[in-house]
Structure 1
């Protein structure tokens, strides 16, 4: 089934307006007009998939140490909102099932980035795949699974073959096309800072769609779309408004 993309995807919810990777972030993204959101998934110590970007706690919450060494119950006791603004105090780190339920209720499609802690690539991808298979069989045209880790995409290809995959990278390094093809990806997700019009054309000519991150300038977003980029991932509601 074809992937139904929007031209804008909210980065970690809508990271300019709300704490990243939170349910409130998804709600505010929907209110701002986004129909897609991107978020990161990492395993806790008890193998519950949690929404979190960094291997270590502390930047976006009041925790300490490595996320993969704490279980879901402990992680859900952390405050994941006060760091952003006092109004968000008490916001919690959601697990993947909660995120899916929230996005489903809001009508949001999902770019699920598998973000494994070092050494946990295979198991993280297995658990994410199992969760998507169990909770989202009707959303295969509204979900793309991406990762910087090829091992994660290989597992997703095997364990959750119905879901689209995206090849996430900083730049189009040598061998990108063959790697994306071998992993059965439908899209390539480079950093927009490395993108040129020629690179976008090369991605399109290779048969992939282009999603690019993290584009917070509306003029840059408009340029990228004019070049043929399919979707820009952004923190900023102003980008969504400009491309509406």
Structure 2
């Protein structure tokens, strides 16, 4: 199989941007991902700030990836933007801010698709979902976005508020009724721990017209094994360069 066809068969999703080369979920990581022409998808995580602005950060707290402390939801978007989200990764990224989802959309519009993972919703009534849906529509990126979450309630809210959006369930388990669960949610994507990806699962999802994204695959051996599978599915990785090497070996 030619490298180009293997890359098309197993598209790369840059996990939190090119997070192996730049601080995760920052504009630096997204720019790095966009610098590789073969990367068409970027995965990111979204929380809601105190003033109801979707911001891009994985944890619900600031401690791990910024110089701040406490909950993301307790600060405004402006306050969050003034934190340093890059120094923990490397001094050259000192001062890299927490971006808003709008900033990321402005950066990637027309250049890549987004897998937007909704984290826990601190507010009642699906406010996080509503604000994300509003932004996707404002940027006219409905066809370039899939909304995913571990939380089934958020997927249900997304389908209720925006039935036309693609949605996906994230899971690290493979129960026998996984396909019926996805169908009941109206989810068209399964985002699953790469260790659970098998030919049988891929056959079942293909029959149900459900796409698959395997996460998070970083070791060259694992990337090579998955890239050798003949069934189509996305590979989510912190290292798009390692993915390129794996698909080129075909």
TM-score by length of 2: 0.88
1:142-153 alignment, distance < 5 Å: 142-153=144-155
SS at match of 2:195: helix
- Which residue matches 1:22? 26
Q: Give the total of aligned pairs.
A: 238
SS at match of 2:89: coil
CA distance in 1, matches of 2:86, 2:20: 13
1:237 aligns with 2:240: yes
CA distance in 2, matches of 1:227, 1:87: 41
Q: Which moved more, 1:220-229 or 1:81-90?
A: 220-229
**Deviation digits for residues 132-167 of structure 1 (CA, Å, limit 9, x no counterpart):** 12222xx33321111111111111112122221111
Cα drift, residue 201 of structure 1:
2.3
- Which residue matches 1:122? 126
Q: Which runs of 5+ in 2 are unaligned?
A: 1-7
1:62 aligns with 2:73: no
CA distance in 1, matches of 2:15, 2:9: 15
Cα drift, residue 32 of structure 1:
3.0
Cα drift, residue 207 of structure 1:
2.2
Q: Which moved more, 1:150-159 or 1:89-98?
A: 150-159
- Which residue matches 1:81? 86
Cα drift, residue 174 of structure 1:
4.0
Cα drift, residue 117 of structure 1:
4.4
CA distance in 1, matches of 2:158, 2:134: 9
CA distance in 2, matches of 1:239, 1:158: 38
Q: Which runs of 5+ in 1 are unaligned?
A: none
TM-score by length of 1: 0.90
Cα drift, residue 182 of structure 1:
1.8
Q: Which moved more, 1:4-13 or 1:47-56?
A: 4-13
- Which residue matches 1:11? 15
SS at match of 2:224: helix
Cα drift, residue 125 of structure 1:
1.2
CA distance in 1, matches of 2:217, 2:48: 27
Q: Superposition RMSD on alpha carbons, in Å?
A: 2.0
- Which residue matches 2:212? 210
Q: Which moved more, 1:220-229 or 1:39-48?
A: 220-229
SS at match of 2:20: coil
CA distance in 2, matches of 1:145, 1:184: 12
- TM superposition outliers: structure 1 runs of 4+ over 6 Å: none
Cα drift, residue 119 of structure 1:
5.7
Change (3 A) 1:5 1:150: farther
